[in-house]
Chains A and B, each alone.
Chain A
Amino acid sequence: KNEVEQSPQNLTAQEGEFITINCSYSVGISALHWLQQHPGGGIVSLFMLSSGKKKHGRLIATINIQEKHSSLHITASHPRDSAVYICATRSQGNLIFGKGTKLSVKP
């Protein structure tokens, strides 16, 4: 069974800092998703990766298939980035979710 581990669980940063959230998984996957959940609860899909690196605005996601590891980076962090970031892996059709990283960016 695939285990998805995220670190850190909680992260507090000052506005402008560079942020990294990590995700490790235990079995081969077809894709990895990074999701953002705001306090209201709705989830937005940020990235879907199967290899390499993707960038969208200030967000960068990377994946190393051999090491079974992915990172989500936020450059020039802003208080509006405060949210829970969730890593989810896809294998055999369904998603397995990490427990999430709660990010708080202080002005």
Chain B
Amino acid sequence: DGGITQSPKYLFRKEGQNVTLSCEQNLNHDAMYWYRQDPGQGLRLIYYSQIVNDFQKGDIAEGYSVSREKKESFPLTVTSAQKNPTAFYLCASSSSGTGSKYGYTFGSGTRLTVV
């Protein structure tokens, strides 16, 4: 079955280290997204990519970086510049285009804890 795979599910890192979260999809979706979820808040968009080799900043991109070298993969790096990196990170994908007929598929998330 097609879907999105995020790994790892739980990740612990020391303060000051960069860490990369993996997101892979086999849905042949053009667009991919990274969201951050904090307790009591709605999901917030970090970065998104609508096509290979192109990506755009979302609402909270500072301290994060991404790449989109392959259609299937959209890894997120949490850099040491991110002041409060402990959070739950969700990856999603959708078919390209705007309009109401395009749905989203979400991954199972990575919970990052920085100690």
B108 contacts A by Cβ under 8 Å? yes
With A30-B98, A30-B100, A94-B48 given, is the CB distance from A44 to B106 under 8 Å? yes
Residues of B that sit less than 8 Å from A by CB: 33, 35, 37, 40-45, 48, 58, 88, 90, 92, 98-100, 102-109, 111
Indicate the size class of the contact surface on chain A. Answer: 20 to 34
- Taking a contact as CB atoms under 8 Å apart, the answer to whether B90 and A98 are in contact is no
In the complex, identify which listed stretch (A11-19, A34-42, A54-62, A75-83) lies at the interface while the others stay far away.
Answer: A34-42
Residues of A that sit less than 8 Å from B by CB: 4, 30-31, 33, 35, 40-45, 48-50, 86, 88, 90, 92-100
With A31-B100, A50-B100, A93-B98 given, is the CB distance from A42 to B108 under 8 Å? yes
- Taking a contact as CB atoms under 8 Å apart, the answer to whether B107 and A42 are in contact is yes
B1 to chain A, nearest CB (A): 13
- Taking a contact as CB atoms under 8 Å apart, the answer to whether A48 and B88 are in contact is no
- Taking a contact as CB atoms under 8 Å apart, the answer to whether B42 and A100 are in contact is yes
- Taking a contact as CB atoms under 8 Å apart, the answer to whether A41 and B45 are in contact is no
